[in-house]
Amino acid sequence: MPPTLALIQGQLATLASQEQEALERHILGAQWMKQLIEPEEIGRLAVFLASESAEKITGEAFGITGGE
């Protein structure tokens, strides 16, 4: 790989990382829990709602917001 290409790829990775960190800080700033929500957490709600334990739950909206 040419040195210039390696340098550019390194710079792009650094910029992307900084942008991701800034985005996470922005999102977490509005949340009480200060944690990003993982797909598994949403999946656990879906599994519960599909189970017999949730048979009496109808027409509800569930917000998974991290405490917004």
Please list the pLDDT of the chain residue by residue as tens digits (68 residues).
Answer: 666 777 778 777 887 788 878 877 887 777 777 777 789 989 999 999 999 999 999 999 998 877 76
CB of 48 within 8 A of CB of 54? yes
**Spatial CB neighbours of 68, under 8 Å, sequence gap ≥ 6:** 30, 31, 32
In the chain, domain spans: 1-30, 32-67
Taking the model in full, what pTM does it have?
0.52
